[in-house]
Amino acid sequence: MGPGAGRAALISNRKVFNLFGEKVLHALRSSGFDVSVWLMKDGEQHKSMRSLAQAITFFSKSGLERNDAVVALGGGVVGDLAGFAAATYLRGVAFIQVPTTLLAQIDASVGGKTGVNTGAGKNLVGAFHQPRLVLIDTDTLQTLPQRELTAGWCEAIKQGAAGDRKLFDRTVRLLERVGTHASSVQHAGGVRIDVAATIAAHCRFKAAIVAGDEREATDRTDRRSRKILNFGHTTAHALEAVTNYRRFRHGEAVGHGMIVAAEISKGLGMLKPGELELLRSAVRACGPLPPADDVEIDKLIRAMKGDKKSVGGQIRWVLLDAIGSARIVDGREVSTRALRRALRAGLQTP
């Protein structure tokens, strides 16, 4: 977005645009932008190369130039797709994130990871492209379905558990106050302010981690590396894959995955049992998760071995020394027996 910016290409989907589109259009137009709109289809399956091609055609037909900007209005699917289209069109134009899900507000909109899924894997093609601005209106959470809130809170617990004990405690305290119901997020007064302030604290946390390791350097294994944000994700990705991406929202799978990682940590003598119980009750406070105790453990282990985050064919576990303090551990240090035990114990309803 240069000094002469005149055009904004807005990407959203029908559901989100019907809720907030007019307001955003009004704001952009009254700031002097000439706005064009493209509504992509809703759903993870549309974070695809096909949608990317459609977005690029939309930019071209709108006459988008190097100085102009792309605006993403929606959840992580819209943000990842619009961000990647912005990263590649004319070798990169500015983009602005206006996230409307809890998960996108605390995580996906911050940090510049953009991309699409392909038949060969999720988020397999992408680019690091930082947004010029992340604009969050937490009132958008009022219309968010319950499961989406639960998924977002699980990712919030993840951020605290992996890297910031105070943030973890603050998030748990907030969850105890608001409960997880959508209606509580819209309470007037203090709770609403607390929700907004906690989301801002999560953005600051994530931005600080990203500032220190923007491109998730493969050789970094310290406790401030960007990899710690993948806490819970090894099991989550496997759970999602073996249930054909139909049973779990991603954050819900992360809820289960964090408990499995904590069970492994306890099994290796790293994490105290009391800390595991604290994490378990924090995940419970996020809301009910779809059951995972019927998923075949052998299938999960096979899926983990195919995870694209592995290095030299080895899984890299993000484990915990304590809540707020993660450690990256080579998969060879976790025996199959220990992994099975942790999966059996961790995949019970928390």
* Nearer CB in complex with ligand GLY: 192/226: 226
DSSP letter (8 states) at residue 311: B
Where do runs of H (alpha helix) occur along the chain?
14-30, 49-62, 76-88, 102-103, 146-163, 165-178, 182-185, 190-212, 233-242, 250-267, 273-285, 297-305, 336-346
DSSP assigned state of 239: H
Locate tokens 């809301």: which residue?
287
Q: Which does 76 bind (CB under 5 to 8 A by kind): ligand NAD, ligand GLY, none?
A: ligand NAD
* DSSP annotation of 314: B
113 touches ligand GLY (CB under 6 A): yes
CA distances from 348 to 11, 79, 295 (A): 40, 33, 11
**Which helix or strand (DSSP H or E) is residue 125 part of?**
strand 121-128
Say which entry of ligand GLY, ligand NAD, none residue 226 contacts (CB below 5 to 8 A, set by partner kind). ligand GLY
Phi/psi for 314 (5° steps) reads: -105, 135
The reply on whether position 164 binds ligand GLY by CB under 6 A is no
307 near ligand NAD, judged by CB under 6 A: no
- Indicate the residue whose CB is closest to ligand NAD: 76
Minimum distance from CB of 126 to ligand GLY (Å)? 11
229, interface contact from ligand GLY, ligand NAD, none, CB < 5-8 Å by kind: ligand GLY
Which of 7, 113, 233, 266: binder of ligand NAD (CB under 6 A)? 113
Contact positions toward ligand NAD, by CB under 6 A? 13, 15-16, 19, 42, 44, 47, 74-78, 80, 100-101, 103-104, 107-108, 111, 113, 123, 140, 143-144, 148, 151, 250
Contact positions toward ligand GLY, by CB under 6 A? 107, 111, 113, 226, 229
